[in-house]
Structure 1
Amino acid sequence: MYLIIGAVVVIASMVGGFTMVGGNLLSLWHVNEIIVICGCALGAYVIATPVKVMKSAMQSMIALLKGPKYRRADYVDLLKLIYEMLVKMRRDGTMSIEDHIENPDKSPIFQKYPKVSGDHHMLTFITDCLRLMVGGNMNPHELESLLEYELETHHQEALEPSHSVQKVADALPGFGIVAAVLGIILTMSIVGSAPPAEIGAKVASALVGTFLGIFIAYGFVGPIASAMESRAHEEGKAFEVVKMALVASLRGYAPSVAIEFARKLLFSDVRPSFQDLEADLKAAKG
Protein backbone atom coordinates (compact mmCIF):
# COMPACT_ATOMS: atom_id res chain seq x y z
CA MET A 1 0.00 0.00 0.00
CA TYR A 2 2.73 2.46 0.97
CA LEU A 3 4.61 1.53 -2.20
CA ILE A 4 1.69 2.72 -4.31
CA ILE A 5 1.22 5.87 -2.23
CA GLY A 6 4.90 6.76 -2.58
CA ALA A 7 4.83 6.21 -6.35
CA VAL A 8 1.78 8.45 -6.70
CA VAL A 9 3.47 11.18 -4.66
CA VAL A 10 6.61 11.00 -6.82
CA ILE A 11 4.64 11.26 -10.07
CA ALA A 12 2.31 13.95 -8.76
CA SER A 13 5.21 16.06 -7.51
CA MET A 14 7.05 15.86 -10.82
CA VAL A 15 3.94 16.50 -12.93
CA GLY A 16 2.72 19.28 -10.65
CA GLY A 17 6.03 21.11 -10.56
CA PHE A 18 6.52 20.84 -14.32
CA THR A 19 3.04 22.00 -15.26
CA MET A 20 3.10 24.87 -12.75
CA VAL A 21 5.76 26.62 -14.84
CA GLY A 22 3.87 26.00 -18.07
CA GLY A 23 5.48 22.72 -19.09
CA ASN A 24 3.75 20.49 -21.62
CA LEU A 25 3.61 16.90 -20.41
CA LEU A 26 3.59 15.61 -23.99
CA SER A 27 7.10 16.98 -24.40
CA LEU A 28 8.26 14.40 -21.86
CA TRP A 29 6.69 11.48 -23.69
CA HIS A 30 9.20 10.00 -26.14
CA VAL A 31 8.72 6.30 -26.71
CA ASN A 32 12.11 5.94 -28.39
CA GLU A 33 13.86 7.31 -25.29
CA ILE A 34 11.93 4.91 -23.04
CA ILE A 35 12.83 1.96 -25.27
CA VAL A 36 16.53 2.85 -25.22
CA ILE A 37 16.72 3.42 -21.46
CA CYS A 38 14.46 0.66 -20.16
CA GLY A 39 15.50 -1.85 -22.82
CA CYS A 40 19.22 -1.37 -22.17
CA ALA A 41 18.68 -1.53 -18.40
CA LEU A 42 16.65 -4.73 -18.72
CA GLY A 43 19.20 -6.32 -21.04
CA ALA A 44 22.09 -5.43 -18.74
CA TYR A 45 20.14 -6.84 -15.78
CA VAL A 46 19.60 -10.14 -17.60
CA ILE A 47 23.30 -10.33 -18.49
CA ALA A 48 24.50 -9.64 -14.95
CA THR A 49 21.92 -11.53 -12.87
CA PRO A 50 21.46 -15.30 -12.38
CA VAL A 51 18.02 -16.66 -13.13
CA LYS A 52 17.50 -17.65 -9.48
CA VAL A 53 18.12 -14.08 -8.33
CA MET A 54 15.84 -12.63 -11.02
CA LYS A 55 12.99 -14.87 -9.88
CA SER A 56 13.60 -13.93 -6.25
CA ALA A 57 13.70 -10.25 -7.17
CA MET A 58 10.33 -10.51 -8.91
CA GLN A 59 8.82 -12.31 -5.92
CA SER A 60 10.29 -9.73 -3.53
CA MET A 61 8.84 -6.82 -5.52
CA ILE A 62 5.41 -8.45 -5.53
CA ALA A 63 5.73 -9.08 -1.78
CA LEU A 64 6.24 -5.34 -1.21
CA LEU A 65 2.61 -4.83 -2.23
CA LYS A 66 1.56 -7.08 0.65
CA GLY A 67 2.03 -6.69 4.36
CA PRO A 68 5.06 -7.85 6.36
CA LYS A 69 5.65 -11.59 6.36
CA TYR A 70 5.74 -11.75 10.16
CA ARG A 71 3.59 -9.54 12.35
CA ARG A 72 3.49 -9.33 16.14
CA ALA A 73 1.04 -12.24 16.46
CA ASP A 74 3.19 -14.37 14.16
CA TYR A 75 6.27 -13.74 16.30
CA VAL A 76 4.28 -14.72 19.36
CA ASP A 77 3.33 -18.00 17.65
CA LEU A 78 6.96 -18.57 16.72
CA LEU A 79 8.09 -18.04 20.30
CA LYS A 80 5.31 -20.27 21.63
CA LEU A 81 6.31 -23.03 19.22
CA ILE A 82 9.94 -22.91 20.33
CA TYR A 83 8.83 -22.74 23.96
CA GLU A 84 6.68 -25.85 23.67
CA MET A 85 9.53 -27.78 22.05
CA LEU A 86 11.99 -26.69 24.75
CA VAL A 87 9.57 -27.58 27.54
CA LYS A 88 9.00 -31.02 26.05
CA MET A 89 12.75 -31.57 25.73
CA ARG A 90 13.34 -30.61 29.36
CA ARG A 91 10.39 -32.59 30.70
CA ASP A 92 10.59 -35.77 28.60
CA GLY A 93 14.17 -35.73 27.33
CA THR A 94 15.68 -34.56 24.07
CA MET A 95 14.70 -37.73 22.19
CA SER A 96 11.02 -37.00 22.86
CA ILE A 97 10.90 -34.44 20.04
CA GLU A 98 12.50 -36.69 17.44
CA ASP A 99 9.17 -37.63 15.83
CA HIS A 100 8.12 -33.97 15.81
CA ILE A 101 11.19 -32.76 13.92
CA GLU A 102 11.29 -35.72 11.53
CA ASN A 103 7.59 -35.41 10.63
CA PRO A 104 6.57 -31.82 11.35
CA ASP A 105 3.53 -32.14 9.07
CA LYS A 106 2.16 -34.74 11.51
CA SER A 107 3.36 -33.06 14.69
CA PRO A 108 0.53 -31.71 16.87
CA ILE A 109 2.86 -29.00 18.15
CA PHE A 110 3.87 -27.70 14.72
CA GLN A 111 0.34 -27.95 13.39
CA LYS A 112 -0.88 -25.63 16.14
CA TYR A 113 1.02 -22.82 14.41
CA PRO A 114 0.16 -22.95 10.70
CA LYS A 115 1.90 -19.68 9.81
CA VAL A 116 5.24 -20.99 11.03
CA SER A 117 4.81 -24.55 9.74
CA GLY A 118 3.69 -23.16 6.38
CA ASP A 119 6.96 -21.25 5.95
CA HIS A 120 9.23 -23.83 4.33
CA HIS A 121 12.51 -22.03 5.04
CA MET A 122 11.61 -21.35 8.68
CA LEU A 123 10.34 -24.89 9.25
CA THR A 124 13.53 -26.36 7.79
CA PHE A 125 15.69 -24.07 9.90
CA ILE A 126 13.87 -24.98 13.13
CA THR A 127 13.89 -28.72 12.53
CA ASP A 128 17.56 -28.70 11.47
CA CYS A 129 18.55 -26.79 14.60
CA LEU A 130 16.56 -29.08 16.87
CA ARG A 131 18.01 -32.11 15.10
CA LEU A 132 21.51 -30.86 15.93
CA MET A 133 20.50 -30.44 19.56
CA VAL A 134 19.03 -33.93 19.72
CA GLY A 135 21.74 -35.92 17.99
CA GLY A 136 24.66 -33.57 17.48
CA ASN A 137 26.09 -33.61 21.00
CA MET A 138 27.22 -30.02 20.47
CA ASN A 139 28.15 -27.47 23.09
CA PRO A 140 26.51 -24.00 23.00
CA HIS A 141 29.52 -22.29 21.39
CA GLU A 142 29.70 -24.82 18.57
CA LEU A 143 25.99 -24.58 17.84
CA GLU A 144 26.01 -20.78 17.99
CA SER A 145 28.97 -20.58 15.61
CA LEU A 146 27.34 -22.99 13.17
CA LEU A 147 24.03 -21.13 13.22
CA GLU A 148 25.78 -17.80 12.72
CA TYR A 149 27.41 -19.15 9.56
CA GLU A 150 24.07 -20.45 8.35
CA LEU A 151 22.32 -17.15 9.06
CA GLU A 152 25.09 -15.23 7.33
CA THR A 153 24.55 -17.36 4.23
CA HIS A 154 20.78 -16.92 4.49
CA HIS A 155 21.04 -13.12 4.84
CA GLN A 156 23.45 -12.89 1.92
CA GLU A 157 21.07 -14.88 -0.28
CA ALA A 158 18.08 -12.84 0.89
CA LEU A 159 19.83 -9.56 0.01
CA GLU A 160 20.92 -10.60 -3.48
CA PRO A 161 17.62 -9.54 -5.15
CA SER A 162 17.73 -6.04 -3.66
CA HIS A 163 21.40 -5.62 -4.58
CA SER A 164 20.69 -6.67 -8.16
CA VAL A 165 17.85 -4.14 -8.46
CA GLN A 166 20.04 -1.43 -6.91
CA LYS A 167 22.62 -2.02 -9.64
CA VAL A 168 19.91 -1.30 -12.20
CA ALA A 169 19.12 1.94 -10.39
CA ASP A 170 22.80 2.89 -10.49
CA ALA A 171 22.97 2.17 -14.23
CA LEU A 172 19.79 3.98 -15.31
CA PRO A 173 21.26 7.53 -15.25
CA GLY A 174 24.06 6.26 -17.50
CA PHE A 175 21.57 4.78 -19.96
CA GLY A 176 19.72 8.11 -19.84
CA ILE A 177 22.93 9.79 -20.98
CA VAL A 178 23.24 7.19 -23.75
CA ALA A 179 19.75 8.12 -24.97
CA ALA A 180 20.64 11.82 -24.75
CA VAL A 181 23.86 11.32 -26.73
CA LEU A 182 21.95 9.47 -29.44
CA GLY A 183 19.58 12.43 -29.63
CA ILE A 184 22.48 14.89 -29.87
CA ILE A 185 24.03 12.84 -32.67
CA LEU A 186 20.76 13.04 -34.56
CA THR A 187 20.55 16.77 -33.89
CA MET A 188 24.08 17.47 -35.06
CA SER A 189 23.39 15.65 -38.32
CA ILE A 190 20.82 18.27 -39.32
CA VAL A 191 22.66 21.40 -38.15
CA GLY A 192 22.85 23.83 -41.05
CA SER A 193 20.00 22.26 -42.94
CA ALA A 194 17.16 22.67 -40.43
CA PRO A 195 15.62 25.78 -38.87
CA PRO A 196 16.63 26.71 -35.30
CA ALA A 197 13.18 25.76 -33.96
CA GLU A 198 13.54 22.18 -35.17
CA ILE A 199 17.08 21.92 -33.81
CA GLY A 200 15.91 23.24 -30.43
CA ALA A 201 13.08 20.70 -30.33
CA LYS A 202 15.51 17.84 -31.02
CA VAL A 203 17.92 19.05 -28.33
CA ALA A 204 15.04 19.19 -25.86
CA SER A 205 14.01 15.69 -26.90
CA ALA A 206 17.56 14.46 -26.30
CA LEU A 207 17.62 16.00 -22.82
CA VAL A 208 14.45 14.08 -21.97
CA GLY A 209 16.57 10.92 -22.04
CA THR A 210 18.77 12.23 -19.25
CA PHE A 211 15.70 13.26 -17.29
CA LEU A 212 14.00 9.88 -17.66
CA GLY A 213 17.08 7.93 -16.65
CA ILE A 214 17.56 9.96 -13.46
CA PHE A 215 13.83 10.12 -12.65
CA ILE A 216 13.25 6.37 -13.00
CA ALA A 217 16.42 5.54 -11.08
CA TYR A 218 15.94 7.80 -8.07
CA GLY A 219 12.15 7.96 -8.09
CA PHE A 220 11.29 4.29 -8.46
CA VAL A 221 13.98 1.64 -8.95
CA GLY A 222 16.32 2.86 -6.19
CA PRO A 223 13.56 3.18 -3.56
CA ILE A 224 12.18 -0.24 -4.52
CA ALA A 225 15.63 -1.77 -4.01
CA SER A 226 15.89 -0.09 -0.59
CA ALA A 227 12.43 -1.37 0.37
CA MET A 228 13.40 -4.90 -0.70
CA GLU A 229 16.56 -4.69 1.42
CA SER A 230 14.62 -3.50 4.47
CA ARG A 231 12.07 -6.28 4.04
CA ALA A 232 14.87 -8.86 3.82
CA HIS A 233 16.36 -7.59 7.08
CA GLU A 234 12.94 -7.73 8.77
CA GLU A 235 12.28 -11.29 7.64
CA GLY A 236 15.75 -12.38 8.73
CA LYS A 237 14.95 -11.34 12.29
CA ALA A 238 12.71 -14.39 12.74
CA PHE A 239 15.67 -16.72 12.13
CA GLU A 240 17.80 -14.82 14.63
CA VAL A 241 15.03 -15.21 17.22
CA VAL A 242 15.03 -19.00 16.78
CA LYS A 243 18.82 -19.14 17.02
CA MET A 244 18.92 -17.10 20.21
CA ALA A 245 16.25 -19.20 21.96
CA LEU A 246 17.85 -22.53 21.09
CA VAL A 247 21.39 -21.45 21.98
CA ALA A 248 20.17 -20.04 25.31
CA SER A 249 18.42 -23.31 26.05
CA LEU A 250 21.53 -25.30 25.23
CA ARG A 251 23.44 -23.13 27.69
CA GLY A 252 21.16 -24.40 30.43
CA TYR A 253 18.61 -21.62 30.77
CA ALA A 254 15.00 -22.50 31.50
CA PRO A 255 12.65 -22.40 28.49
CA SER A 256 10.93 -19.23 29.68
CA VAL A 257 14.28 -17.46 30.11
CA ALA A 258 15.50 -18.65 26.72
CA ILE A 259 12.35 -17.26 25.11
CA GLU A 260 12.91 -13.95 26.91
CA PHE A 261 16.40 -13.79 25.38
CA ALA A 262 14.78 -14.24 21.98
CA ARG A 263 12.06 -11.65 22.63
CA LYS A 264 14.72 -9.02 23.27
CA LEU A 265 15.94 -9.37 19.68
CA LEU A 266 12.65 -8.25 18.15
CA PHE A 267 12.11 -4.75 16.85
CA SER A 268 9.94 -2.58 19.08
CA ASP A 269 6.99 -2.47 16.68
CA VAL A 270 6.58 -6.27 16.70
CA ARG A 271 7.96 -7.12 20.15
CA PRO A 272 5.26 -8.38 22.54
CA SER A 273 5.43 -7.10 26.10
CA PHE A 274 6.90 -9.33 28.79
CA GLN A 275 3.52 -9.70 30.54
CA ASP A 276 1.62 -10.54 27.35
CA LEU A 277 4.17 -13.10 26.21
CA GLU A 278 4.31 -14.67 29.67
CA ALA A 279 0.54 -15.11 29.62
CA ASP A 280 0.72 -16.68 26.14
CA LEU A 281 3.48 -19.05 27.22
CA LYS A 282 1.53 -20.15 30.27
CA ALA A 283 -1.48 -20.83 28.08
CA ALA A 284 0.68 -22.83 25.68
CA LYS A 285 2.21 -24.83 28.52
CA GLY A 286 -1.21 -25.50 29.98
Structure 2
Amino acid sequence: MTGLVGVGVIFVMVFGGYLLAGGKMGIILKALPFEFMMIGGAAFGAFLVGNSMSEAKHTMKELGKVFKGPRWKPDDYRDLLCLLFELVRLGRQNPVALEEHIENPPESSIFSNYPRVLGDGEAIAMICDTLRAMSMNYDDPHQVEEVLGKRIEENIHHAMHPSHALQTTADALPALGIVAAVLGVIKTMASIDQPPEVLGKLIGGALVGTFLGVFLAYGIVGPFATRLKAIAEQDAHFYALIQEVLVANLHNHATNICIEVGRQNTPTHIRPSYSALEEALKARKAA
Protein backbone atom coordinates (compact mmCIF):
# COMPACT_ATOMS: atom_id res chain seq x y z
CA MET A 1 0.00 0.00 0.00
CA THR A 2 2.81 2.40 0.89
CA GLY A 3 4.44 1.72 -2.47
CA LEU A 4 1.29 2.71 -4.37
CA VAL A 5 0.96 5.88 -2.31
CA GLY A 6 4.59 6.74 -2.96
CA VAL A 7 4.27 6.31 -6.72
CA GLY A 8 1.12 8.44 -6.68
CA VAL A 9 2.87 11.19 -4.73
CA ILE A 10 5.78 11.19 -7.20
CA PHE A 11 3.51 11.68 -10.22
CA VAL A 12 1.27 14.25 -8.54
CA MET A 13 4.15 16.36 -7.24
CA VAL A 14 6.20 16.31 -10.44
CA PHE A 15 3.48 16.84 -13.01
CA GLY A 16 1.26 18.86 -10.69
CA GLY A 17 4.10 21.27 -10.01
CA TYR A 18 4.87 21.48 -13.72
CA LEU A 19 1.26 22.35 -14.56
CA LEU A 20 0.95 24.85 -11.70
CA ALA A 21 4.08 26.58 -12.97
CA GLY A 22 2.37 27.11 -16.32
CA GLY A 23 3.78 24.13 -18.19
CA LYS A 24 1.90 22.54 -21.08
CA MET A 25 1.39 18.78 -21.19
CA GLY A 26 0.81 18.76 -24.93
CA ILE A 27 4.50 18.59 -25.91
CA ILE A 28 5.24 15.92 -23.30
CA LEU A 29 2.27 13.75 -24.26
CA LYS A 30 3.09 14.02 -27.97
CA ALA A 31 6.73 13.02 -27.51
CA LEU A 32 6.23 10.55 -24.66
CA PRO A 33 5.32 7.41 -26.64
CA PHE A 34 8.34 7.69 -28.93
CA GLU A 35 10.76 8.68 -26.17
CA PHE A 36 9.48 5.92 -23.91
CA MET A 37 9.87 3.42 -26.73
CA MET A 38 13.52 4.40 -27.17
CA ILE A 39 14.46 4.72 -23.51
CA GLY A 40 12.26 2.02 -21.99
CA GLY A 41 12.94 -0.39 -24.84
CA ALA A 42 16.70 0.12 -24.67
CA ALA A 43 16.68 -0.26 -20.88
CA PHE A 44 14.64 -3.47 -21.08
CA GLY A 45 16.92 -4.82 -23.81
CA ALA A 46 20.00 -4.05 -21.73
CA PHE A 47 18.32 -5.72 -18.75
CA LEU A 48 17.78 -8.89 -20.80
CA VAL A 49 21.37 -8.84 -22.07
CA GLY A 50 22.76 -8.48 -18.54
CA ASN A 51 20.64 -11.24 -16.95
CA SER A 52 19.78 -14.83 -17.75
CA MET A 53 16.17 -15.69 -18.47
CA SER A 54 15.68 -17.25 -15.03
CA GLU A 55 17.16 -14.14 -13.38
CA ALA A 56 14.94 -11.86 -15.48
CA LYS A 57 11.84 -13.87 -14.51
CA HIS A 58 12.90 -13.79 -10.87
CA THR A 59 13.23 -10.01 -10.99
CA MET A 60 9.83 -9.55 -12.64
CA LYS A 61 8.24 -11.83 -10.05
CA GLU A 62 9.81 -9.94 -7.16
CA LEU A 63 8.47 -6.56 -8.31
CA GLY A 64 5.17 -7.28 -6.58
CA LYS A 65 6.97 -7.16 -3.21
CA VAL A 66 7.47 -3.41 -3.68
CA PHE A 67 3.74 -3.05 -3.00
CA LYS A 68 3.07 -6.16 -0.87
CA GLY A 69 6.07 -5.81 1.44
CA PRO A 70 8.13 -8.59 3.06
CA ARG A 71 6.92 -12.16 2.82
CA TRP A 72 7.28 -12.89 6.54
CA LYS A 73 5.03 -11.06 9.00
CA PRO A 74 5.36 -10.91 12.82
CA ASP A 75 2.87 -13.78 13.20
CA ASP A 76 5.06 -15.96 10.99
CA TYR A 77 8.03 -15.45 13.32
CA ARG A 78 5.85 -16.46 16.24
CA ASP A 79 4.70 -19.59 14.38
CA LEU A 80 8.28 -20.46 13.45
CA LEU A 81 9.35 -20.25 17.09
CA CYS A 82 6.44 -22.48 18.07
CA LEU A 83 7.38 -25.00 15.38
CA LEU A 84 11.00 -25.07 16.49
CA PHE A 85 9.91 -25.46 20.10
CA GLU A 86 7.85 -28.54 19.26
CA LEU A 87 10.62 -30.08 17.18
CA VAL A 88 13.40 -29.42 19.70
CA ARG A 89 11.28 -30.70 22.58
CA LEU A 90 10.32 -33.86 20.68
CA GLY A 91 13.92 -34.42 19.59
CA ARG A 92 15.04 -34.46 23.21
CA GLN A 93 12.20 -36.64 24.44
CA ASN A 94 12.02 -39.11 21.57
CA PRO A 95 14.59 -38.79 18.74
CA VAL A 96 13.08 -41.75 16.86
CA ALA A 97 9.66 -40.07 16.76
CA LEU A 98 11.27 -36.88 15.45
CA GLU A 99 12.61 -38.71 12.39
CA GLU A 100 9.06 -39.37 11.16
CA HIS A 101 8.42 -35.62 11.02
CA ILE A 102 11.67 -34.44 9.44
CA GLU A 103 11.69 -37.16 6.80
CA ASN A 104 8.24 -36.27 5.49
CA PRO A 105 7.24 -32.73 6.57
CA PRO A 106 4.08 -32.48 4.39
CA GLU A 107 2.61 -35.48 6.22
CA SER A 108 3.82 -34.36 9.64
CA SER A 109 1.22 -33.51 12.27
CA ILE A 110 3.63 -30.89 13.64
CA PHE A 111 4.60 -29.14 10.40
CA SER A 112 1.01 -29.14 9.14
CA ASN A 113 0.04 -26.83 12.02
CA TYR A 114 2.14 -24.11 10.40
CA PRO A 115 1.13 -23.99 6.71
CA ARG A 116 2.96 -20.75 5.85
CA VAL A 117 6.25 -22.08 7.16
CA LEU A 118 5.61 -25.45 5.53
CA GLY A 119 5.08 -23.66 2.21
CA ASP A 120 8.66 -22.37 2.20
CA GLY A 121 10.94 -25.11 0.92
CA GLU A 122 14.18 -23.46 2.03
CA ALA A 123 13.04 -22.96 5.64
CA ILE A 124 11.85 -26.57 5.87
CA ALA A 125 15.06 -27.84 4.27
CA MET A 126 17.21 -25.89 6.73
CA ILE A 127 15.29 -27.26 9.70
CA CYS A 128 15.10 -30.86 8.52
CA ASP A 129 18.66 -31.06 7.17
CA THR A 130 20.09 -29.70 10.42
CA LEU A 131 18.00 -31.96 12.67
CA ARG A 132 18.81 -34.96 10.47
CA ALA A 133 22.53 -34.20 10.67
CA MET A 134 22.25 -33.90 14.46
CA SER A 135 20.72 -37.38 14.56
CA MET A 136 23.86 -38.62 12.78
CA ASN A 137 26.07 -37.05 15.48
CA TYR A 138 27.01 -33.99 13.42
CA ASP A 139 26.46 -31.84 16.48
CA ASP A 140 29.40 -29.47 16.80
CA PRO A 141 27.68 -26.08 17.41
CA HIS A 142 30.40 -24.05 15.72
CA GLN A 143 30.49 -26.19 12.57
CA VAL A 144 26.70 -26.23 12.28
CA GLU A 145 26.58 -22.46 12.78
CA GLU A 146 29.15 -22.00 10.02
CA VAL A 147 27.28 -24.28 7.62
CA LEU A 148 23.96 -22.55 8.25
CA GLY A 149 25.63 -19.15 7.99
CA LYS A 150 27.00 -19.96 4.54
CA ARG A 151 23.61 -21.27 3.48
CA ILE A 152 21.88 -18.08 4.64
CA GLU A 153 24.55 -15.98 2.91
CA GLU A 154 23.90 -17.78 -0.37
CA ASN A 155 20.14 -17.28 0.03
CA ILE A 156 20.65 -13.55 0.62
CA HIS A 157 22.89 -13.31 -2.44
CA HIS A 158 20.17 -14.91 -4.55
CA ALA A 159 17.43 -12.74 -3.02
CA MET A 160 19.47 -9.58 -3.69
CA HIS A 161 19.79 -10.20 -7.43
CA PRO A 162 16.51 -8.46 -8.42
CA SER A 163 17.60 -5.37 -6.48
CA HIS A 164 21.02 -5.35 -8.13
CA ALA A 165 19.51 -5.85 -11.59
CA LEU A 166 17.06 -2.98 -11.13
CA GLN A 167 19.74 -0.68 -9.70
CA THR A 168 21.96 -1.36 -12.70
CA THR A 169 19.06 -0.49 -14.99
CA ALA A 170 18.37 2.68 -12.99
CA ASP A 171 22.01 3.73 -13.35
CA ALA A 172 21.75 3.35 -17.13
CA LEU A 173 18.46 5.22 -17.62
CA PRO A 174 19.82 8.82 -17.44
CA ALA A 175 22.40 8.01 -20.12
CA LEU A 176 19.73 6.39 -22.29
CA GLY A 177 17.65 9.55 -21.83
CA ILE A 178 20.56 11.57 -23.19
CA VAL A 179 20.76 9.21 -26.18
CA ALA A 180 17.07 9.83 -26.91
CA ALA A 181 17.58 13.59 -26.46
CA VAL A 182 20.52 13.60 -28.88
CA LEU A 183 18.39 11.80 -31.45
CA GLY A 184 15.75 14.49 -30.92
CA VAL A 185 18.35 17.21 -31.50
CA ILE A 186 19.44 15.48 -34.71
CA LYS A 187 15.83 15.49 -35.83
CA THR A 188 15.55 19.17 -34.94
CA MET A 189 18.70 20.07 -36.89
CA ALA A 190 17.20 18.42 -39.95
CA SER A 191 14.36 20.95 -39.67
CA ILE A 192 16.51 24.00 -38.99
CA ASP A 193 14.81 25.91 -41.80
CA GLN A 194 11.45 25.79 -40.02
CA PRO A 195 9.98 28.79 -38.12
CA PRO A 196 10.83 29.25 -34.39
CA GLU A 197 7.49 27.90 -33.13
CA VAL A 198 8.12 24.61 -34.94
CA LEU A 199 11.72 24.39 -33.75
CA GLY A 200 10.59 25.11 -30.19
CA LYS A 201 8.26 22.13 -30.21
CA LEU A 202 10.97 19.92 -31.68
CA ILE A 203 13.50 20.96 -29.06
CA GLY A 204 10.91 20.52 -26.31
CA GLY A 205 10.20 17.02 -27.56
CA ALA A 206 13.92 16.22 -27.55
CA LEU A 207 14.26 17.36 -23.95
CA VAL A 208 11.47 15.00 -22.94
CA GLY A 209 14.00 12.19 -23.46
CA THR A 210 16.38 13.61 -20.87
CA PHE A 211 13.51 14.22 -18.46
CA LEU A 212 12.11 10.73 -18.90
CA GLY A 213 15.44 8.98 -18.35
CA VAL A 214 16.18 10.90 -15.15
CA PHE A 215 12.58 10.61 -13.91
CA LEU A 216 12.44 6.84 -14.40
CA ALA A 217 15.89 6.34 -12.85
CA TYR A 218 15.45 8.34 -9.66
CA GLY A 219 11.68 8.39 -9.32
CA ILE A 220 10.68 4.81 -10.18
CA VAL A 221 13.33 2.16 -10.88
CA GLY A 222 15.91 3.29 -8.30
CA PRO A 223 13.41 3.39 -5.40
CA PHE A 224 12.05 0.00 -6.50
CA ALA A 225 15.59 -1.44 -6.27
CA THR A 226 16.11 0.07 -2.82
CA ARG A 227 12.81 -1.32 -1.58
CA LEU A 228 13.55 -4.84 -2.85
CA LYS A 229 16.94 -4.75 -1.12
CA ALA A 230 15.33 -3.77 2.19
CA ILE A 231 12.73 -6.53 1.84
CA ALA A 232 15.38 -9.17 1.05
CA GLU A 233 17.37 -8.13 4.12
CA GLN A 234 14.30 -8.29 6.37
CA ASP A 235 13.14 -11.68 5.08
CA ALA A 236 16.63 -13.05 5.73
CA HIS A 237 15.98 -12.68 9.48
CA PHE A 238 13.47 -15.53 9.20
CA TYR A 239 16.24 -17.97 8.26
CA ALA A 240 18.67 -16.44 10.76
CA LEU A 241 16.14 -17.22 13.49
CA ILE A 242 16.25 -20.90 12.51
CA GLN A 243 20.03 -20.81 12.82
CA GLU A 244 19.95 -19.16 16.24
CA VAL A 245 17.50 -21.66 17.74
CA LEU A 246 19.12 -24.80 16.33
CA VAL A 247 22.63 -23.72 17.33
CA ALA A 248 21.39 -22.85 20.83
CA ASN A 249 19.90 -26.35 20.97
CA LEU A 250 23.33 -27.82 20.18
CA HIS A 251 24.73 -25.91 23.15
CA ASN A 252 22.28 -27.96 25.27
CA HIS A 253 20.35 -25.00 26.58
CA ALA A 254 16.86 -25.65 27.90
CA THR A 255 14.21 -25.72 25.17
CA ASN A 256 12.58 -22.51 26.39
CA ILE A 257 15.98 -20.80 26.45
CA CYS A 258 16.65 -21.86 22.84
CA ILE A 259 13.38 -20.29 21.76
CA GLU A 260 14.08 -17.13 23.77
CA VAL A 261 17.49 -16.82 22.09
CA GLY A 262 15.76 -16.88 18.71
CA ARG A 263 13.10 -14.40 19.82
CA GLN A 264 15.58 -11.89 21.17
CA ASN A 265 17.72 -12.07 18.03
CA THR A 266 14.72 -11.09 15.90
CA PRO A 267 14.54 -7.37 14.97
CA THR A 268 12.25 -5.33 17.19
CA HIS A 269 9.61 -4.44 14.61
CA ILE A 270 8.91 -8.10 13.78
CA ARG A 271 9.77 -9.68 17.13
CA PRO A 272 6.83 -11.39 18.87
CA SER A 273 6.36 -10.22 22.44
CA TYR A 274 7.30 -12.56 25.27
CA SER A 275 3.71 -12.81 26.48
CA ALA A 276 2.31 -13.46 22.99
CA LEU A 277 4.86 -16.21 22.41
CA GLU A 278 4.14 -17.74 25.82
CA GLU A 279 0.42 -17.84 25.05
CA ALA A 280 1.09 -19.48 21.67
CA LEU A 281 3.41 -22.06 23.27
CA LYS A 282 0.86 -22.86 25.97
CA ALA A 283 -1.76 -23.37 23.30
CA ARG A 284 0.54 -25.76 21.42
CA LYS A 285 1.39 -27.65 24.62
CA ALA A 286 -2.31 -28.02 25.37
CA ALA A 287 -2.99 -29.27 21.86
The partner residue of 1:53 within 40, 52, 55 is 55
Instruction: Name the counterpart of 1:146.
Output: 147
**Could you report, residue by residue, the CA deviation over 1:187-234 in whole angstroms, capped at 9, with x for unpaired residues?**
22232x222222222111111100000011111111111111111111
- TM-score by length of structure 1 reads 0.95
Deviates more, 1:26-35 or 1:206-215: 26-35
Whole-angstrom CA distance in 1 between matches of 2:224 and 2:40: 16
Instruction: Name the counterpart of 1:2.
Output: 2
**Could you report, residue by residue, the CA deviation over 1:45-64 in whole angstroms, capped at 9, with x for unpaired residues?**
00001112111111111233
Whole-angstrom CA distance in 2 between matches of 1:265 and 1:53: 31
Residue 67 of structure 1: CA displacement? Answer: 4.7
Whole-angstrom CA distance in 1 between matches of 2:217 and 2:184: 20
Instruction: Name the counterpart of 2:187.
Output: 186
Q: Is the 8 A contact 1:95 1:134 kept in 2?
A: no
Whole-angstrom CA distance in 1 between matches of 2:134 and 2:96: 10
User: Which consecutive unaligned segments of at least 5 residues does structure 2 have?
Assistant: none
User: Which consecutive unaligned segments of at least 5 residues does structure 1 have?
Assistant: none
Q: Partner of 2:268: helix, strand, or coil?
A: coil
Instruction: Name the counterpart of 2:284.
Output: 284
Q: Is the 8 A contact 2:69 2:231 kept in 1?
A: no
**Could you report, residue by residue, the CA deviation over 1:230-280 in whole angstroms, capped at 9, with x for unpaired residues?**
111111110000000000100111111111111112221221122221232
Q: Is the 8 A contact 1:140 1:247 kept in 2?
A: yes
Q: Partner of 1:65: helix, strand, or coil?
A: helix
Whole-angstrom CA distance in 1 between matches of 2:70 and 2:162: 17
Instruction: Name the counterpart of 1:116.
Output: 117
Root-mean-square deviation (Å) = 1.3
Moved over 3 A (4+): none
Whole-angstrom CA distance in 2 between matches of 1:127 and 1:32: 54
Q: Report 1:217-236 matches (<5 A).
A: 217-236=217-236
Aligned-pair identity in percent equals 38
- TM-score by length of structure 2 reads 0.95
Residue 142 of structure 1: CA displacement? Answer: 0.5
Amino acid at match of 2:175: G
Q: Partner of 1:219: helix, strand, or coil?
A: helix
For these two proteins, the number of residue pairs brought into alignment is 284
Amino acid at match of 1:103: N
Q: Does 1:241 align with 2:236?
A: no
Residue 69 of structure 1: CA displacement? Answer: 1.6
Whole-angstrom CA distance in 1 between matches of 2:285 and 2:255: 11
